[in-house]
């Protein structure tokens, strides 16, 4: 796509086709939310400072050198977007921002509490400009409360919200992806769609708020109720489930495998397949197996170590036991099942040519393309659409007032 092009009117079919999103966010949580909306057909205009989204500098790896260097990190969260650079301390750029707000359906921001208001765009002012505007605000620790002013970074949130206390073997360990950011983005996109649906009835936009810590606490699931209901403080669970056994990772003679006996029926099939007595007192029920989990893992570990992974996976499949490999990232993107689900897409980048990206997680109906788009748009270069967005505003304003 060249600077003279724009995604306006070319988003393709999808439930959010015709929806204009202003993405003022940077780094990962907000950009991920904006990308999800873009995947579903929204037109997403990424509003960046003249120096760009922080994640443009996060690497290596990078593609290219000098002024044409592009961060692969940035590319992970910014497909299906346009980029315009604005300095909101400039009167001209604030005026352009005002024009965009009047046309928009959604505005997304992840500044610290109060920053957007200091830039001249408080919630009250935004809704004066556009009463139907849905505003998504993502913070680190929530928009109010005693620690609302703290900056939000993923690993800090993983620790503060308890996730690291559950993850690892010898010490608290972060998840291998920025899970707090990603979940906050997913929750933000979900809340935004709900607010757009409500606006169809009320005609007015809401402020949707979520945070990194809320998003981590929201996935505590049974680990949370172990404490709130059961009075038990969970600890590190390593590669085995704390409440189901056997359920976890085992080393074979070649490479690790994983399996799950999530019911007594599965255990009754699993045990004899490995030459064990399913009714032995230590292991007869799930409660027994959890109580004697270390012994069970030791027994199974000795058995699995005798033969290669392929042997065990074939045996477990024949017995109807859920099991699988532990794949490396390169193996994942070459896996035919991943490709069949549209989880790898190809895009034409403005300066880097044809690129492969991780794809959208949703497919609509029985279509054979990912998300709601037949074609995806590459992450934009910084300010790639400065001129085309200005031209679009001039043309559409000539046709009449916005929303």
Beta bridge partners of 229: none
Determine whether 181 is an active site residue: yes
User: Would you say 285 and 264 are in contact if contact means Cβ atoms under 8 Å apart?
Assistant: yes
Angle CA 38–40–46, to nearest 5: 10
Query: Secondary structure of 203-238 in the HEC alphabet?
Result: CCCCEEEEEHHHHHHCCCCHHHHHHHCCCCCCCCCC
3-state secondary structure of 88: coil
- Say which residues have a Cβ less than 8 Å from residue 23's Cβ, sequence separation at least 6: 30, 31, 34, 44, 45, 46, 47, 81, 108
Identify whether the C-beta of residue 114 lies closer than 8 Å to the C-beta of residue 122. no
**3 state SS of 392:** helix
Catalytic residue among 170, 181, 279, 348: 181
Neighbours of 141 (CB within 10 A): 22
Residue 5: other Cβ atoms inside 10 A: 14
- Contact between residue 74 and residue 53 where contact means Cβ atoms under 8 Å apart: yes
The catalytic residue positions are 181
């Amino acid at each position: 796509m060249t600077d003279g092009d724009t995604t306006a009117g070319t988003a393709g079919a999808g439930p959010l086709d015709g929806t204009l999103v202003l993405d003022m966010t940077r780094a990962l949580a907000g950009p991920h939310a904006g990308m999800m909306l873009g995947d579903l057909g929204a037109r997403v205009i990424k509003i960046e400072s003249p120096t760009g989204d922080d994640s443009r500098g996060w690497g290596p790896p990078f593609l290219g050198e000098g002024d044409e260097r592009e961060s692969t990190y940035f590319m992970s969260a910014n497909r299906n977007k346009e980029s315009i650079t604005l300095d909101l301390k400039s009167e001209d750029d604030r005026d352009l921002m005002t024009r965009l707000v009047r046309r928009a359906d959604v505005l997304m921001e992840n500044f610290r509490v109060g920053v957007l208001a200091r830039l001249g765009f408080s919630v009250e002012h935004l809704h004066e400009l556009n009463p139907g505007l849905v505003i998504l605000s993502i913070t680190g620790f929530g928009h109010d409360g005693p620690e609302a002013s703290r900056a939000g970074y993923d690993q800090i949130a993983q620790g503060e919200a308890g996730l690291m206390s559950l993850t690892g073997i010898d010490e608290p360990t972060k998840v291998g992806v920025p899970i707090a950011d990603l979940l906050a983005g997913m929750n933000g996109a979900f809340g935004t769609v709900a607010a757009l649906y409500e606006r169809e009835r009320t005609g007015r936009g809401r402020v949707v708020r979520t945070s990194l810590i809320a998003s981590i606490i929201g996935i505590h699931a049974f680990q949370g109720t172990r404490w709130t209901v059961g009075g038990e403080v969970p600890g590190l669970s390593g590669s085995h489930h704390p409440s189901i056994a056997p359920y976890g990772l085992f080393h074979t003679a070649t490479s690790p495998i994983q399996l799950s006996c999530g019911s007594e029926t599965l255990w009754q099939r699993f045990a004899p397949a490995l030459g064990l007595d399913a009714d032995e007192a230590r292991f007869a029920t799930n409660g027994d197996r959890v109580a004697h989990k270390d012994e069970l893992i030791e027994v199974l570990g000795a058995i699995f170590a005798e033969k290669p992974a392929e042997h065990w996976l074939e045996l477990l499949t024949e017995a109807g036991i859920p099991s699988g490999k532990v794949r490396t990232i390169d193996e994942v993107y070459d896996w035919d099942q991943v490709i069949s689900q549209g989880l790898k897409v190809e895009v034409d980048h403005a300066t880097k040519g044809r690129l492969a990206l991780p794809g959208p997680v949703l497919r609509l109906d029985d279509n054979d393309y990912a998300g709601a788009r037949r074609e995806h748009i590459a992450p934009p270069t910084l300010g790639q659409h400065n001129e085309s967005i200005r031209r679009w505003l001039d043309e559409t304003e000539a046709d009449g007032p916005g929303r």
